[in-house]
Amino acid sequence: MIVTLIIICEVGFWVLLVLGLALRYLARMPRAGVAVLLCEPLLEVVLLAVTAIDLKNGAEPAFQHGLAAVYLGGTIAYGHYMIRWADGHAAHRLAGGPRPAKPPRYGMARALHEWKMSLRACAGAVIAAGLLQAAIWYVGDPAQTGPLRDWQTKTGFVIVISLLVALAYTVFPKRPSSRDTPDQPTGPGSPPALRRGGLAALRDRAGADRAGADGVGIDRAGADGVGADRAGVANGSGGGTAVDPAKRL
C-alpha cells in the first residue's frame, strides 16, 4: 500500500506541475496556476500521514516505510528546484521568455554548481534521516526498527558520496578539451556565433569578417575611382577655359 501511494504521489506531482504551468502560460491564468502548484505539498502530507497511521495500527516497520521517508526527504529538498526549472523552460517556450541559463561546465563555476547540488542532496538525506528517527522513536521497539536503521545508513552514504563528488570537482576542476569552446553567455544579447557554438560558428564568424573586409576594399576602390573622375573633370574644365596670352595682345 505504501509503495503504491509513493507511485501515486510521484505521478500526482508531475500532473499538478503540468496543469499549473498550463494554466499559467497557456490559459493566461497565473493565479490559478500558482494555486495548483501550491497543492503539491499536500501529496507529501498525505503520504506522511498514511505512513504514520500504518505504523500506529501495528504494522511492522519494513522497507516501504523507510522508502516513504526517503521519498519525502528528496521531494522536500528538490521539489522547489524542479518547479523552478520547469517554470523557466515553460516561460521560454510558451511565453517568449529568456532561455534558461545552462549550468556551467568547467572550472570553479562548475565546482560551485556541484556544491549546490550536493548540499541539496545532503539536505534531502538529513530530512529523510530525521523522519526515520522519528519513526524509530514512535515505534519504540528496537527489535522492530532494523529496516529503518538500514535506511538511515543509506542516507549517510548519500551524504558522503555527494560531498566527495563536489570535492572532486573542486580539487580536480574540469577543463575544456581542444574541441570544446569555453563557456559563453547564451542569452538574447550574446552574439549569434557564440550562441551556436562549435567550429561551425567560428567559421561563420571568420567568413563574415572576411566579407566585411572585402566590402571595405570595394568601397575604397570606388572612392578612388570617384576621385579620379573628379580630377579628370577638373582638368578638362581648366583646358576649356584657358585663354592664349597672344590673343590678349
Interval 159-168: pLDDT, tens: 999 999 999 9
Q: What is the pLDDT of residue 136?
A: 92
Cα(168)–Cα(158) distance, integer angstroms: 15
**How does pLDDT run across 171-202, given as a tens digit for each residue?**
999 888 777 655 554 444 444 444 444 444 44
User: What is the length of the chain?
Assistant: 249
From CA 114, how far away is CA 112, in angstroms rounded? 5
pLDDT band per the 50, 70, 90 thresholds, residue 1: confident
Answer for the pair 118, 166: CB distance below 8 angstroms, yes or no: yes
Q: How confident is the model at residue 118 (pLDDT cuts 50, 70, 90)?
A: very high
Residue 226 has pLDDT above 80, yes or no: no
Q: Give CA–CA dist 105/73, Å, rounded.
A: 28
DSSP state of 248: H
Task: Record the pTM.
Answer: 0.70
Residues 30-63 pLDDT 10s: 999 999 999 999 999 999 999 999 988 888 899 9
The grid coordinates of residue 228 equal 579620379
